[in-house]
Amino acid sequence: MSLFINEAHAAAGSAPAGGGMEMIIMLAVFGAVFYFMIYRPQAKRVKEHKGLMTALSKGDEVLTQGGIVGKIIKVSDEKDFMVISIAEGTEVTIQKSAVNAVLPKGTMKSL
C-alpha cells in the first residue's frame, strides 16, 4: 500500500508476436536509402575526380585544395606528384590528388 504509486497488475493476455517480414522490409528500405543517399553520390564524385587526375597534362591551370592557383610544369606518371608554377620563378611540388579543379586557359593572367 503505497501512498503515491498505484499497484501494477499483469496483463491478462500474452503480447502479440512480432512478424519477421516487417523487419526484413524495414532493413531493405534502409539499405536502399543508404545506397541512393550516401554511397552512390560519393562513388560518383570519386569517379569524376579520378577522371580529372588522369586528364591532367603540362600547361593546364589548376586550383588546389589549399586555394593555390598554378600552371602545371611537369607531371610524373609513375609517381603521384607534379610541379606547378604559381608565379615566375616560384615552383611548388604537389600531389595530384590535391588538385580540386582544372581552370580555363588564361585564368592566372586575369587574376
pLDDT at 38: 94
Mean pLDDT of 66-86: 91
Is the pLDDT at 97 greater than 80, yes or no?
yes
pLDDT at 111: 79
Is the pLDDT at 1 greater than 60, yes or no?
no
Q: What are the CA-CA distances from residue 95 to residues 16, 46, 69 (Å)?
A: 61, 16, 14
Tens of pLDDT, residues 31-74? 999 999 999 999 999 999 889 888 889 999 999 999 999 999 99
Q: What are the CA-CA distances from residue 48 to residues 42, 59, 77, 89 (Å)?
A: 10, 21, 19, 32
In this prediction the pTM is: 0.64
Mean pLDDT of 8-29: 75
pLDDT at 27: 94
Cα 54-55-58 angle, rounded to 5 deg: 110
